[in-house]
Structure 1
Amino acid sequence: MPKQADKIIQTLKSKGLRITPQRFAVYSNLLHRSDHPTAEQILKDLNQDAPTLSQATIYLSLQTLRDVGLIREVLLEEGVCRYDANIFPHHHFRCRCCGQIEDISWESFSNLSLNKLRSGLEVDQYEVIVQGKCDRC
């Protein structure tokens, strides 16, 4: 078994998850992507050669991986849930023309001040979503 597969199995086990072929496939797929796919895109990608996974299985696997903190949901546009295996703090840029999404380092907004928020609000997490036009458009 290749090193990458061993690492994925160890990561899933460390979170107390059973290693199923479906869960392994979904997590592996996300680890090798940077495009923040939807569940439908993951399903299409995994079923490209041999359609064996159902939409329900993909959603259940994504929910389980999210619940144990191995992936996160990214909401960059209304009504579209995307998934990201990069669980470290970072922000996102979304091109309004082509829809391309890319990560922005956390440090890019290190001077962001939350001091001007209304009194009584307690921030425990934030994410900046930048939208505009990418250099390819």
Structure 2
Amino acid sequence: MKQEANTIVNTLKDKKLRVTPQRFAVYANLLSRTDHPTAEQILSDLNKNAPTSSQATVYSALQALRQVGLVREVLLEPGVCRYDANVESHHHFRCRCCGVIEDIPWETFEPPNLQGLREGIKAERYEVIVEGICDRC
């Protein structure tokens, strides 16, 4: 655990972020999970034993982490912003029955032809979102 803590501290410092207990806790929480949590789920996790974080603090930490590229926002359903510490290129699967979200390797799909976009649009990135029913449902 000490090595993991040092890695997190060094990563935050490398990105020129001040290492606060809240940023550390939010980033450590995201690194420990693969379920693409909402800010509210992260807050609930952090406050399970003793409430010490506020919603505003969690949102502030998430935005700081996002701005330096350590976390990305994932929008898989209307009105719900989820967060992912896996910032490598990948796609997502979302079960429309139970809501589980899983990463799909980038190489799974052929790249789309972005040359066919309307003139004036400059694509910067794309992501495939697959919706369906998972094997547990």
TM over 0.5: yes
User: Is residue 45 of structure 2 the alignment partner of residue 42 of structure 1?
Assistant: no
After TM superposition, the structure 1 = structure 2 runs for residues 1-137 of structure 1, keeping only pairs within 5 Å, are: 2-137=2-137
Distance in 1, matches of 2:125 and 2:80, equals 21
SS in 2 for 1:110: coil
Instruction: List runs of 5+ in structure 1 lacking aligned partners.
Output: none
Instruction: List runs of 5+ in structure 2 lacking aligned partners.
Output: none
Using structure 1 for the length normalisation, give the TM-score. Answer: 0.95
Using structure 2 for the length normalisation, give the TM-score. Answer: 0.95
> How far is the alpha carbon of 1:117 from its aligned partner?
2.9
SS in 2 for 1:33: coil
> How far is the alpha carbon of 1:111 from its aligned partner?
4.6
Structure 1 ranges of 4+ moved more than 4 A? none
Q: Percent identity, aligned pairs only?
A: 68
Could you report, residue by residue, the CA deviation over 1:75-96 in whole angstroms, capped at 9, with x for unpaired residues? Answer: 0000000000000000000000
> How far is the alpha carbon of 1:124 from its aligned partner?
1.6
Letter paired with 1:104: I
Distance in 2, matches of 1:107 and 1:72, equals 19
